[in-house]
A and B are shown apart, each in its own frame.
Chain A
Amino acid sequence: MQAKTLYEKLFESHIVREEDGTYLIYIDRHLVHEVTSPQAFEGLRINHRSVWRSKSILAVPDHNVPTTDRSLGISDPISKIQVETLDENCKHFGLTQFPMNDSRQGIVHVIGPEQGSTLPGMTIVCGDSHTSTHGAFGALAMGIGTSEVEHVLATQCLILKKFKTMEVRVEGKLNKGITAKDIALALIGKIGTAGGTGYAIEFTGECIRSLSMEGRMTLCNMAIEAGARAGMVAVDDVTISYVENRPFSPKGEALEKAKAYWKTLHSDKDAKFDKVVMLNGSEILPQVTWGTSPEMVVSIEGMTPDPKNENDPSKRKSIEDALTYMGLEPNLPINQIKIDKIFIGSCTNSRIEDLREAANVIKGKKIAQNIKLALAVPGSGLVKLQAEKEGLDQIFIAAGFEWREPGCSMCLAMNADRLNPGERCASTSNRNFEGRQGQGGRTHLVSPSMAAAAGIYGHFVDIRSLS
């Protein structure tokens, strides 16, 4: 039998029909949130169509929800309508939803795995580019547009062409303080934000195997920032022990059968990838973005670039524009950049391990005087509860952080959490685009421990230098 990559195994096991290189693929799990679904449900209603398999759907509001006192409701009337529209659609079509005040509510990419709704071997879609997160479980997971959301709701299928395959092999051991976020940013720095366009990435190697599920999710989450619609990691014991005993995961005999199948979900030894990228984990340093694209990244030991050193006029202009927007001079050491706000959260870094990592850095310390606001936003109600059990909330609060309710929050600032023009943020989120965290806001992407350390010192510091 021909050796296959994990992507090929997942893709081929879901083909319903093929015609001339165009495939109809069956979708196992459909995650839904309030921003990209209303027009899809409206389409169903207009065409008098129903939902094909309502049990495949898990819905949650996350983008518009306030992270402050929920008993006050949503003050923005337009956000309120969007969240209520999801409530109505879920009721009308009979879908499982964790509404805003449910203790299990959270960011869609946090609650899927947390509930065991995300399982190995599945095809998973959501009207959200960070759906790539779920590939950490040896699943084929990708973001889709609203037209495709409607198509999947109505037919449980998606029309796709095959992606090319890319292996990102990370060997070696990570140094102390280096995390999956640093691997992701180092990779994007190396291949660029379009480096993975047209590819499905599989992360392999010793370094990846040693990552927890949380770390693997962070890495796959950022695959889209490298341009790849899907990122994935092969199933191993770490995957299986995470999945077991979750509310939606199989039990008893079904679990044993599933496990036997899940163990086949890896690339065969001789499988050929269209492209291989190698990284050495032991060489990865703490990463900080300086510009307005995730590929504009250097290590904490580096400095902002000098456009004079760039010969390509288009690239030179990109660097000049980014430095101007970010309010930074060329050749400025990264550890001299002063910060106004700290954001610990988002579907990239809001899981329990991320909060533990940040809390470990700030324990017994206080945020610097120049920090106007430091937010800790857990990824879900259950993550929040677990953190509170461990006393992490008290560590954050004692350090001067605000301990908030779960949601997307200041990753994209669709709710009230945002940067004001000119404010600079050390953020554990995924995008440093212009205006992403608020018009005129300046975002530096970092790991949770690097964000926490920047909060304590008021500027970026090398996490490795802290005891």
Chain B
Amino acid sequence: MNPFITHTGIVAPLDRANVDTDAIIPKQFLKSIKKTGFGPHLFDEWRYLDHGEPGMDLTQRKKNPEFVLNQTPYEKASILIARENFGCGSSREHAPWAIEDYGFRAILAPSFADIFFSNCFKNGLLPIVLSNETIDLLFKSIYANKGYTVTALKHLSKIITKKIHGYFKLERFFK
């Protein structure tokens, strides 16, 4: 595991509430007995226009141009922002494995589902809870500034952007 200390990256706006673990990594990929290799299938049903199965040649698949991670500059994003209750649904650790394997290091949202939240910390992925107002402000800033970046500092429980210096609460349990 690559422990999270500090990270700066482009933030991809996934403007949805209740992003569930079936959307994060669909069930057909859970048949793997490995911990790695889930990144190419992160959000598979949203990212691609065809149906994905394990072992497919990804270069032959048609990407969905409407999906945020297929749009410039978000293909280079390493932080994800979404709405309430991110990671709801199953306990599959394949969800954080896929997010981390894809190249994300942190997720910003107003709330997370319990099991997903604790699974993230086992895999060096930092879920950051911010107020609805801060999340709204960040979404607006991202839409107004292409390639908007955020820096997250775990030990200080702090996020820094051009305009915002915000703190998030991280219980000692997760440090």
A-side residues, CB < 8 A to B, are 20-22, 35-36, 38-39, 42, 63-64, 76, 78-79, 81-82, 85, 127-129, 131, 143-148, 159, 161, 193-194, 197-198, 227, 229, 293, 295, 314-315, 317-318, 321, 412-414, 431, 433-436, 439
Contact = CB atoms under 8 A, between A and B. Distances in A.
B113 to A, nearest CB: 6
Given A39-B34, A414-B30, A143 B22 contact: no
B138 to A, nearest CB: 13
B173 to A, nearest CB: 5
A80 to B, nearest CB: 9
Given A318-B18, A413-B27, A433-B20, A39 B35 contact: yes
A197 B111 contact: yes
A432 to B, nearest CB: 10
Contacts of A194: 18, 84-85, 88, 111, 113
Sorting the interface of chain B by its residue count into under 10, 10 to 19, 20 to 34 or 35 or more gives 35 or more
9 contacts: A36-B92, A78-B32, A127-B91, A144-B115, A147-B93, A193-B88, A194-B84, A431-B22, A433-B20
Contacts of A193: 18, 85, 88
Contacts of B91: 36, 127-129, 131, 143-145
B116 to A, nearest CB: 8
B51 interface: yes
Chief secondary structure at chain A's binding surface: loop
Contact of A435 (B45, B171, B172): B45
A36 B96 CA distance: 13
A278 to B, nearest CB: 23
A435 B17 contact: no
A414 B25 CA distance: 12
Query: 8 nearest interchain CB pairs?
Result: A38-B33, A147-B122, A143-B91, A145-B119, A145-B93, A194-B85, A146-B93, A78-B31
B147 interface: no
A192 to B, nearest CB: 8
Query: By CB atoms of chain A within 10 A, which of B34, B55, B84, B123 has the most?
Result: B84
Given A194-B85, A414-B31, A433 B115 contact: no
Contact of A433 (B23, B31, B122): B23
A227 B119 contact: no
Query: By CB atoms of chain B within 10 A, which of A21, A82, A145, A431 has the most?
Result: A145
Contacts, number: 127
Contacts of B111: 194, 197
A315 B84 CA distance: 10
B157 to A, nearest CB: 16
A396 to B, nearest CB: 26
A154 to B, nearest CB: 14
Contacts of A314: 15, 17, 83
Contacts of A76: 31
Contacts of A227: 85, 88, 113-114
A21 B27 contact: no
Contact of A145 (B30, B54, B118): B118
Nearest to A143: B91
Contact of B115 (A22, A42, A143, A414): A143
B171 A161 contact: yes
Contacts of A36: 91-93
Nearest to B1: A147
B27 to A, nearest CB: 5
B54 A321 contact: no
Nearest to B29: A78
Contacts of A414: 27-28, 30-31
